[in-house]
């Protein structure tokens, strides 16, 4: 315990990597334990601290342009999933693919292909430039309408019958709101609830966790989509919630004597980073 502020600090045991991220990192570490370098198409996880840790082991992030140039190498496809084009380019250049696509996302890709083959009009609740969405619409030649807010689609001008999917990391409550608004407009809606329950289930658990503390430190990478969603959940539950990407961003003047502090994070937040933040707080 700290001799000065005497902070009581607890880490949320339900926070940290989801299965898809754990799987991708295990694939990377297993390969790098026997090989010098491994190329990863995009960031393996939206967390700067974890990316740096793996970079030191030999993981090299590349973009789509670099993929076109890379030959006779080994490339990791991360949990988000990839469009068919990525596989085609990698194999044409005689690369070996280590496929760490999340099984849940691969299942959704099959569902959206089936809907497309059935000539259904496909809408997806998600972020247009998110890698998961790029991988998803790539399965159906980009024949889908992607939207992040209900205001982006004019309900009165929608087709009479649509099929609705979702990015796995979007807000479950907002997804239900969108479903209800579309149905209320008299549109025949086929709902494909593709939000990951391991992710969605964290919302209620985080609400309960955040209520127990004077201050909450929410840890996530700045580019984490899931991090932004879960941070809002925490902030709406406990107004004294601070978003940080590392222990360097924490300020001592946030805290007062004997504060109870909760530390939690996104599905892309490593548990080791939350422990490092806890250790810093205990020195105050």
- Tell how far CA 210 is from the center of its chain: 21
Spell 100-135 as b/e; 16+ CB within 10 A means b. bbbebbeebbeebeebbeeebbbbbbbbeebbbbbb
Catalytic-residue membership of 132: yes
Longest dimension (CA), the chain: 66
Catalytic residue among 69, 132, 141, 247: 132
- Distance between CA 210 and CA 214 in Å, rounded? 9
Cβ-contact 121, 127 below 8 angstroms: no
Starting from the edge strand earliest in sequence, which strands make up the sheet with 59-62, in order?
59-62, 38-41, 74-77, 96-99
Enzyme catalytic residues: 132
């Amino acid at each position: 315990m700290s001799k000065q502020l005497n902070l009581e600090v607890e880490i949320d045991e339900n926070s940290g990597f989801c299965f898809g991220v754990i799987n991708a990192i295990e694939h990377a570490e297993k390969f790098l334990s026997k090989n010098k370098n491994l190329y990863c198409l995009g960031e393996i996880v939206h967390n700067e601290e974890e990316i740096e840790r793996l970079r030191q082991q030999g993981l090299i992030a590349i973009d789509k342009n670099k993929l076109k140039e890379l030959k006779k190498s080994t490339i990791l496809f991360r949990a988000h999933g990839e469009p068919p084009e990525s596989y085609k380019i990698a194999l044409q250049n005689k690369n070996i693919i280590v496929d760490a696509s999340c099984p849940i996302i691969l299942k959704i890709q099959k569902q959206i292909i089936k809907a497309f083959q059935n000539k259904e009009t496909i809408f997806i609740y998600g972020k247009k430039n998110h890698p998961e969405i790029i991988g998803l619409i790539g399965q159906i030649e980009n024949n889908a309408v992607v939207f992040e807010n209900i205001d982006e689609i004019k309900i009165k001008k929608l087709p009479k019958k649509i099929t609705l999917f979702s990015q796995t990391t979007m807000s479950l409550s907002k997804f239900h709101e969108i479903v209800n608004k579309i149905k209320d407009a008299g549109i025949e809606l086929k709902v494909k609830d593709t939000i990951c329950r391991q992710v969605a289930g964290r919302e209620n658990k985080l609400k309960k966790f955040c209520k127990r503390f004077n201050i909450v430190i929410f840890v996530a990478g700045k580019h984490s989509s899931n991090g932004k969603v879960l941070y809002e959940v925490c902030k709406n539950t406990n107004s004294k919630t601070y978003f940080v990407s590392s222990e360097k961003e924490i300020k001592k003047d946030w805290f007062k004597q004997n504060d109870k502090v909760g530390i939690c994070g996104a599905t892309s937040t490593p548990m080791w980073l939350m422990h490092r933040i806890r250790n810093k707080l205990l020195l105050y």
